[in-house]
Structure 1
């Protein structure tokens, strides 16, 4: 089992291409692999894994097959920190024996697992080595497919491979000076479950901090167009508690969003989100 620490940005295809070009022009950057990834996610008929905030994936990457189990984990200072188990396997059939030592084996009938949705995309890798951290930047562009429905996928993930985890935010801020985006707390798996009609994101626990609740509410709005009570309350708290941390342009983006929140304005919030993280 490993721990994964990453920041996920959602942006438009045009802005993704621009961000890629900018990153590749930096002296700390080097080009990594470009590959097509085919991913099938599995669950029981009762969606037990989703209810436990876990995701089980079979990935095809060229001639390699990788079975992965992830937990949702927690959101800390702009990044996801979660548990991850990963196994290379010979075929695209699930190897249930590999799950025996994980939390899934406790009281689930693993024989009922079946494919629920797919996330299929091209991934372009840029490696950043700035002397303080080694970071993998993954530009993902493709689609999510479930129950006869399709939704686009366009993300940039910064994953810490080694070194100082604060450099994730540093590089996200550098990208924010180049293109608009927002920090998305809704994973690819949650998006797939939503498209399959098996999942609607729930409000975070009451003890979650205001920044996390704001980020989560914004992510839910982007996913399903709903302005939840979680988002409405968090917006008021953000304005009263953090109005002095943002620049004039960042504060203006937030005020425009707060005046009439809708998913079309979400992509303008990335710089403001980063300001909230300090």
Structure 2
């Protein structure tokens, strides 16, 4: 089992290319391989894995096959921290026996597992290296497929390989100042489950910080196209907090004005660097209950 620490950003195809050009021009950045990845996700008819916040997939990259079991984990200081198990396979068939020895294998009828959706995309790799850290940057573009439906997929993932975790946010900040990005707490797997009609993200509980609740709410609105009551309430609570930086106050007013006028979070994030900068500014705030 390994632990994964990453930041995931959603972009438009044009912004993804812009991000690659900008990153490639930075010191200490080198190009890695480009791969076409075919990912098939499995669950029971009742969605037992999804309810446990676990994703199970078989990935094909050329003539290599990898079975991965990954937890949703937690969102800490702007990054996702997850547990992950990986096993090489001889082909595309799921190996149930490999899962039996994990905690998931004790709570799910593994014989009921079957394909639910696919995420298929081209992945371009850049390695970002400096004195602080080594980070793998994956630029993914493709689609999510479920029951004859399709959703575009366009993401940039920053994964810490070694060094200081703060370097992840430093790179994200630099990108957000240059390219329209959206800090997305909704994973590829969650998008696939939503497309398959088996899942709808629900608001975080009061035990989570206000900042995390707002960021998760914005991600829900990005996915659904609508602001739910929980996000509206959390945005209102945030605006009532005193001592917010003037730039953040201005950006929050800008966001609420456009949402009230009927704009969607996805459209705002695609057309301006302000939503991404607003999200990252929230992470710099002291923790708010």
Match of 1:277 in 2: 283
1:178 matched to 2:178? The reply is yes
Match of 1:265 in 2: 268
Distance 1:257 1:243 in 2: 19
Structure 1 counterpart of 2:254, from 250, 253, 256? 256
Match of 1:203 in 2: 203
Stretches (4+) displaced over 3 A: 250-253
Task: Report how many residues are paired.
Answer: 276
Q: After TM superposition, list the pairs within 5 Å mapping 1:135-214 onto structure 2.
A: 135-214=135-214
SS at match of 2:198: coil
Please report how far the alpha carbon of residue 255 of structure 1 lies from its aligned counterpart in structure 2 after TM superposition. 1.8
Q: Given that residues 140 and 155 in structure 1 are in contact (C-alpha distance below 8 angstroms), is that contact kept between their aligned partners in structure 2? A: yes
Distance 2:164 2:104 in 1: 32
Alpha-carbon distance change, 240 to 125 in structure 1, aligned in 2, over 3 angstroms: same
Q: Given that residues 239 and 249 in structure 2 are in contact (C-alpha distance below 8 angstroms), is that contact kept between their aligned partners in structure 1? A: no
Distance 1:57 1:234 in 2: 34
Q: Which moved more, 1:132-141 or 1:230-239?
A: 230-239
Distance 1:190 1:203 in 2: 14
Alpha-carbon distance change, 186 to 151 in structure 1, aligned in 2, over 3 angstroms: same
Distance 1:167 1:238 in 2: 27
Q: Given that residues 135 and 158 in structure 1 are in contact (C-alpha distance below 8 angstroms), is that contact kept between their aligned partners in structure 2? A: yes
Match of 2:86 in 1: 86
SS at match of 2:241: helix
SS at match of 2:152: strand
1:215 matched to 2:206? The reply is no
TM-score, normalised relative to structure 1:
0.96
Gapped regions of structure 2 (runs ≥ 5): 285-289
Q: Given that residues 6 and 79 in structure 2 are in contact (C-alpha distance below 8 angstroms), is that contact kept between their aligned partners in structure 1? A: yes
Distance 2:208 2:231 in 1: 13
Distance 1:166 1:21 in 2: 23
SS at match of 1:239: helix
> RMSD of the TM alignment (CA)?
1.3
Please report how far the alpha carbon of residue 265 of structure 1 lies from its aligned counterpart in structure 2 after TM superposition. 1.7
Alpha-carbon distance change, 217 to 266 in structure 1, aligned in 2, over 3 angstroms: farther
Deviations 1:11-64 (A, max 9, x none): 111011001000000111000111100000000010100111100010001110
Q: Given that residues 243 and 251 in structure 1 are in contact (C-alpha distance below 8 angstroms), is that contact kept between their aligned partners in structure 2? A: no
Please report how far the alpha carbon of residue 147 of structure 1 lies from its aligned counterpart in structure 2 after TM superposition. 0.9
Deviations 1:125-164 (A, max 9, x none): 0001111100000000000000110010000000000100
Q: Given that residues 175 and 181 in structure 2 are in contact (C-alpha distance below 8 angstroms), is that contact kept between their aligned partners in structure 1? A: no
Distance 1:194 1:150 in 2: 11
Q: Given that residues 251 and 272 in structure 1 are in contact (C-alpha distance below 8 angstroms), is that contact kept between their aligned partners in structure 2? A: no
